[in-house]
A and B are shown apart, each in its own frame.
Chain A
Amino acid sequence: MATTIELRFFASVREKLGISEEKIAVPDNVRTVGDVRAWLCSRGEPWSEVLAEGRALRMALDHEMCEPEAEIHAGCEVAFFPPVTGG
């Protein structure tokens, strides 16, 4: 059964994608935050450009910064955003 997750996008990533959040069911083989990123890239432009591997991008799982290996679960919140610039 597909896992339903919440996606959040911020700052320049949000602007370039033209979307701030999305609730979506991901296929079974999408198990980590890195998998989510790769899977979104497979949607084509602008996703493949904005979330491209090698691009400076930070990820968060359930409000915690994470590595691509972090495992997703049903109902989790996955966020993609540029390096932070507060302070």
Chain B
Amino acid sequence: MKIQVQTADFDLQSELNAMRAGRPDTGAIVSFIGLVRDVNDGKSVAGMELEHYPGMTEKALQQIAEQAQQRWELIDLTVIHRVGPLLPTDQIVLVAVASRHRGNAFAACEFIMDYLKTEAPFWKKEQTTEGERWVDARETDQVALEKWIAAGVPQDCAI
């Protein structure tokens, strides 16, 4: 398992190569990358600054990853989240999950992102044409989280 918070960019292929190396039982890797958009809530975004809570952030990500491992049979997972100044088209976050079959990897990848969005202490401050603003938490992110809570302990996925 790899959990990292960093200012530097990351390379998807290198991360996936590291995950599958020496693990011939891996049949699937599902990855998600979050990017900086140049528009948000109707305003043009020139860039953003990502703040986090050093010490707590890594711990929160670790706990989210462990919850995913308890829910599904996973072989490996990687979570990299960037902080500091970022520009449109920049990569913000990578979540990659390896498992024997695709079902668990798809589900766990979405689960980790949904929990990260509501439970990991990161905050975005956007620079827009009308000045700086803190991004507001979205109601839809909370709804996405609650779907997992309502689902309870899932069945291990055989596909």
In Å, the complex CA distance between A86 and B94 comes to 12
CB-based contact A60/B121 at 8 Å = yes
In Å, the complex CA distance between A49 and B83 comes to 28
Chain A residue contacts of B52, Cβ below 8 A = 86
CB-based contact A86/B123 at 8 Å = yes
Chain A residue contacts of B134, Cβ below 8 A = 11-12, 82, 85
Residues of chain B whose beta carbon lies under 8 Å from any beta carbon of chain A? 34, 50-53, 55-56, 59-60, 81, 92-93, 113, 116-125, 134-137
Contact for B53 among A81, A83, A85, A87, CB less than 8 A = A81
How far in angstroms is the closest Cβ of chain A from B97? 15
CB-based contact B119/A65 at 8 Å = yes
**Which 5 residue pairs are nearest across A and B when measured between Cβ atoms?**
A86-B122, A83-B137, A11-B123, A63-B56, A85-B135
A10 interfacial contact with B, CB 8 Å = yes
